[in-house]
C-alpha cells in the first residue's frame, strides 16, 4: 500500500484550525464536550498602587540590576582542570585562585593598582610564599618586584597577627608619615 502525502495550503490560520478540527472529528469521532466550570467574578476594593523603589545612579538615570554571570560554568571548568592537574605549578596555583575570584590572571599580573585586586594579589603572594617560593620567584609569577612581594606578604602576616610583621608595618607607616611631614616642611619654606 502506497500512501501519497501532499501539503495543503491554507488561506489563513483560521482555515487551518478548521480543517484540522474536521480531520480530527472524521478520524476520532466527535470530541467530547467540555463543561465549563462556573465562573465567579470577585470584585476587590481598589488598591493603592505603591511605586516600586527605583535605584538612581549619580547621573540621574535608573540603575540596572546586576545580572548573574553567564559564564560561571566556564570559570568552574577552568578551576576543575587546574585542581585535577597531576603536577600543579605555582603559576597554576595563582591562576586557579584568580579563576575562583572571577578575575583574569592577566589582569592580576598587569600594572593596575586597583583596590579590588590588591587583596587578591596580596593573598596569592602570601600563599605562594607558604608553598616555599622565594620572593623573586613570586615576583616573576605576579610580574612584580621582589620588594613589593615582601611588602604584600608582610601585610598579610600582620593581618594574621604575626608580631614581627606588625612591628614592620608600624615602622613602615611611621617612616611614610615622617617622609610626608618632611615633604610638607620643604614645600612651605
- Looking at the DSSP bridge assignments, the partners of residue 56 are 62
- Tell me the residue range of the domain where 168 lies: 72-179
Query: Does this model's pTM top 0.85?
Result: no
Q: Are 96 and 79 in contact (CB under 8 A)?
A: yes
Domain-located, residue 154: yes
What's the CATH number where 91 sits? 1.10.1750.10
User: Which three cell numbers mark 3?
Assistant: 500512501
Of 189, 185, 119, 117, the C-alpha closest to 156 is: 119
pLDDT of residue 53: 53
Which pLDDT tens digit goes with each residue over 1-59? 676 777 778 888 888 888 888 887 878 776 656 565 555 455 555 555 555 555 566 66
Comparing 144 with 88, which gets the higher pLDDT? 144
Is the residue at 90 inside a domain? yes
Q: How many domains does the chain have?
A: 1
| Position 24 in a domain | no
The pLDDT of 123-143, averaged and rounded, is 93
Predicted confidence (pLDDT) per residue in 137-161, tens digit: 999 999 999 999 998 899 899 888 8
Q: How far is CA 115 from the centre of its chain?
A: 17
Amino acid at each position: 500500500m502506497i500512501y501519497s502525502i501532499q501539503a495543503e495550503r491554507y488561506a489563513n490560520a483560521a482555515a487551518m484550525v478548521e480543517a484540522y478540527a474536521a480531520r480530527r472529528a472524521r478520524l476520532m469521532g466527535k470530541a467530547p464536550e467540555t463543561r465549563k466550570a462556573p465562573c465567579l467574578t470577585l470584585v476587590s476594593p481598589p488598591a493603592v498602587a505603591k511605586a516600586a523603589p527605583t535605584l538612581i545612579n549619580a547621573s540621574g538615570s535608573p540603575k540596572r540590576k546586576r545580572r548573574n554571570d553567564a559564564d560561571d560554568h566556564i570559570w568552574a571548568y577552568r578551576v576543575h582542570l587546574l585542581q585535577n592537574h597531576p603536577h600543579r605549578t605555582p603559576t597554576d596555583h595563582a591562576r586557579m585562585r584568580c579563576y575562583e575570584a572571577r578575575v583574569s590572571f592577566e589582569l592580576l599580573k598587569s600594572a593596575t593598582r586597583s583596590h579590588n585586586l590588591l587583596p587578591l594579589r596580596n593573598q596569592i603572594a602570601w600563599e605562594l610564599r607558604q608553598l616555599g617560593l622565594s620572593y623573586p620567584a613570586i615576583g616573576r609569577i605576579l610580574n612584580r618586584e621582589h620588594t613589593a612581594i615582601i611588602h604584600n606578604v608582610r601585610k598579610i602576616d600582620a593581618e594574621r597577627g604575626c608580631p614581627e610583621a606588625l612591628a614592620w608595618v608600624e615602622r613602615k607607616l611611621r617612616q611614610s608619615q615622617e617622609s610626608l611631614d618632611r615633604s610638607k616642611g620643604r614645600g612651605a619654606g
